[in-house]
Amino acid sequence: MRKNVRRKRPELWRHNSWFLHHHNAPAHTSHLVRDYLTKNNVNTVPQAPYSPDMTPYDFFLFARLKLPLRGKRFQTIEAIKENSQKELKAIPKSAYEKCFEDWKKRWNMCIACDGDYSEGNEINIDE
């Protein structure tokens, strides 16, 4: 992941102005992972507790992958990877940009609600 940031976003890498956002899964919160992130000066965005709808792959990416792959059977792991990559590449750049705008709105909503559950609340975050 760090190599990809360095290669794809060199301006962010140079200034260490990129952030990693991942949810509270045990694999992400283990001491080993936290030590690695700290040792490598990776800036992380903490996940609000009980807010799985804050991660872009939960509210955007998984749905985009599940629909076209639904009902298909694959013989190998490689076939799964190939088909998944094909579907990911088919998603237009504008959809990813909208996803991250939605992500920012979700974070602002979380802040406006002081971290409480906010889905369905009528809160104007522009006030």
pLDDT digit string (tens) for 53-82? 666 666 678 888 888 899 999 999 999 999
For residue range 1-24, what is the model confidence (pLDDT) as tens digits? 888 888 888 888 888 888 877 766
pTM for this predicted structure: 0.50
- Per residue, the 3-state secondary structure of the chain, as one string, reads CHHHHHHHCHHHHHCCCCEEECCCCHHHHCHHHHHHHHHCCCEEECCCCCCHHHCHHHHHHHHHHHHHHCCCCCCCHHHHHHHHHHHHHHCCHHHHHHHHHHHHHHHHHHHHCCCCCCCCCCCCCCC
